[in-house]
Amino acid sequence: MMMRRVWGMLAAAMVVTMLFSPYQGLAEESGGLYPERPPLPEIDPEQMQIVIVEADDDPVEAMARVQEQLPDTQVRRTFLTLFNGFSLEIKQKDIEQLQTIKGVKRIDPVAMYEPSMDESIPFIGGNEIRSMLDEDGDRLTGEGIKIGVIDTGIDYHHPDLKKNYRGGYDVVDEDDDPMETTKEEGVPTLHGTHVAGIIAADGRMHGVAPDAEIYGYRALGPTGIGTTEQVIAAIEKAVEDEVDVINLSLGNTVNGPDWPTSVALDKAVEAGVVAVTSNGNSGPNLWTVGSPGTSSKAISVGASTPPLRIPYLVLDRNEEQEWAITPMIRAQPWDQKREDEIVYAGLGRKEDFNNTDVKGKIAIVERGIVTFTVKAKAAKQAGAKGLIVYNNHDGEFAGTLEEIVDLPVVSMSKEDGEALLSELSKTNHSRIRTVYHEEQDFIAPFSSRGPVTYSWDVKPDLVAPGVAIDSTVPKGYLDMNGTSMAAPHIAGAAALVLQKHPDWTPDQVKAALMNSAKLISDRDGNVYPPHVQGTGRVDLSRALKVETLVYPGAVSFGKWLRDDTRIEKQVKITVDNQSDERKRYTVDPPFEVPDGIQWKVPFSFYLNPGEKREVPIIMDVLPSVFEGGMYNGIIEVKSKDEIINVPYLFFVEEPDYPRVMAFMLEHTTEEDVYQYEVYLPGGAEEFGIVLYEPDTFQFVKYIEAKKDVDRGMLEEKLEIQGVEPGVYKALIFARQDGKEDTIERDIIIGQYLGPSSSR
């Protein structure tokens, strides 16, 4: 599912504004020195103008009012961070009425450069490949390739999409009209239109494959929510319609290879369809990839950053130390241009600010207890100049305010926040300023990490730009963030590969994209491990020039225990010579390996043009030498002029994956009877559901207790009696191999109507 997180580069960066009035700048007459001025030219009332509209409340709500009262207008872009408003194409005669619409604060005419798809498509080689030709001599644009977008629907009336739209199906309403949810039908959606634009927009914006045929399958209804049943039905419908590629920028939090949507995707690939799915937006912790990103045969895509201007904070007395910050959605932009005093204000509650002098200063607070919006409003009321919220868990996070607050608000990682506080504790007065760096090719913090539980597969398979990606939305354009935006870059890339190689299988298309990806590194220069970046960031121009394919593009040797005897772990890869010459190949495992490993690989071998060979790679292991944990590295497959990286990983001892996931409880039609479902990725020696009082956390009772539960989905009915109706805190736990994990949920027992029984 989509997650929005903007790092300071929005569509507004592509807009050049000229503030003017038709009467501005006329020279005053001075004693006849100037000839008589001709009359001003009349302005055509039907002439279309482009204007910037500044909103004084939520710009999305203001935009909806404008479109309702002035249906002939066309929204071009929405700005939520650097500018609170949107750009609009409007008739001259309607500007006066526009000024009277609630929420419209200011109107300015603009001049605008022709936009591209942010910088993401040129960045991955999209411009270079336009000169490449397919076997018929046509440019590589995705022509003739059918792509199914399984999502919230598509605004097929959008001028950038209507030429390429070919049809589809609405699984939610069971009809042939996969239009996005409109406001008349519920909470409006725009996600699928944005995804479709990244793949194949062909108008003011151009997608990765601008001539591909787009088919929409609406599997997610109002608010962008859908069921496993709907998603599987959409996959089946797309396969029946014989699409070549399907894109699923959606997912859940279940990290298991056997979840139904993952299995359905595997079957779709076996039927000959290239399946592309987002890896998830639950990073930066390991094991956060969710289904269908866990599908072994699909291409799972994580999110990296295109070129961005990233803000950092520095203290006046220690300018060598920099701390990254991330602007929060619906806050004012962070554009501090001078040094400001910074003070610590606890958890950012009203009482914290009452006890801290933050007037005219930057406040730094810890995440937790109250929402970001409450913290921001309290800081604003106390007179703070800006607010920094540092994480209360390891790593970075992406924050969103519930409403617009007139205050710059940013987030910071736990580690950086604590380091900054440590510096602040050394003196009574500290001043801070902002510096900016141009950065690219970093993993987005929200991008979910692998590996996959049980199968121990490497996921994601590769990464693509997924931060501040500008694309089509109903009646306009919008920049959005998420692995949902990364996946369609790969779906479009797959279309180009298929156009050039129409006879290739999904495995070969996947290999071309993975084998040619660029390995990327973190800010300290360390190469991201395979369960974070897969084989790297997609490189379109290299993918379309590959001569050798190696698949699978990444491998797992599974796990073993330290007290196992000496064992051999074997994987097999296929080396596929797609060139027109005979080639000699070698398989080179890493030279620097931990003690306790010996590699067994074949001697060099030759492949004729079009020939392929299955090659065994054996890891001879002495388990007792190893400490418990996860290990990874890269195996190289080489020919005279190619080096293909094949990442691998393995585990010693039972991995530290979450033992319990995706709990849900609902009341059945029977009195006192409930049904729950929960996913146990490795099974459970002990599993249970415990009720507590929500305020005092006093134990109430066990409503479920089991032992030796098999791995996978557990679906059970249970009868709950002897509990007063009300809201309870439920603790769902699972213990396996010496590790216990829990999920905490508020659940309703009985016919609870809340504090007032008059509802």
Catalytic residues: 151, 191, 484
Residues 6+ apart with CB under 8 A from 381: 350, 353
**Helix-strand-coil percent breakdown of the chain, rounded to 5?**
15, 35, 45
* Angle value at C-alpha 608, between 602 and 612, nearest 5 degrees: 55
Strands of the sheet with 274-278, listed across from one edge: 165-170, 213-218, 146-151, 245-248, 274-278, 299-304, 462-465
Q: What is the dihedral of CA 28, 32, 34, 37, to 10 degrees?
A: 70
| Beta strand ranges found along 496-604 (DSSP E) | 548-551, 555-560, 567-577, 583-588, 597-600
> CA separation (Å) from 599 to 556, 568, 570, 587, 602?
15, 10, 10, 11, 10
Residues 6+ apart with CB under 8 A from 591: none
- Burial grade of 615 (CB within 10 A; 0-12, 13-18, 19 or more): middle
DSSP secondary structure string, 579-626?
SSS-EEEEEE--SS--TTEEEE----EEE-TT-EEEEEEEEEE-GGGS
Rg of the chain in Å (alpha carbons): 28
Look up residue 143 and give its two tokens. 């022509």
The residue count for the chain: 759
DSSP β-ladder status, 362-366 and 386-390: parallel
Cα–Cα dist 741/678, whole Å: 13
Residues 6+ apart with CB under 8 A from 261: 228, 231, 232, 235, 248, 252, 291, 292, 295
**Beta-carbon count within 10 A of 63 CB:** 22
Cα–Cα dist 449/210, whole Å: 30
Angle between helices 191-200 and 483-500 (to 10 degrees): 30
Angle between helices 228-240 and 260-270 (to 10 degrees): 10
DSSP β-ladder status, 400-412 and 245-248: unpaired
- What is the per-residue burial (b if ≥16 Cβ within 10 Å, else e) of 139-154? ebbbbbbbbbbbbbbb
**Beta-carbon count within 10 A of 316 CB:** 14
In this structure, are residues 302 and 443 in contact, taking their beta carbons and an 8 Å threshold? Answer: yes
Look up residue 228 and give its two tokens. 């496993």
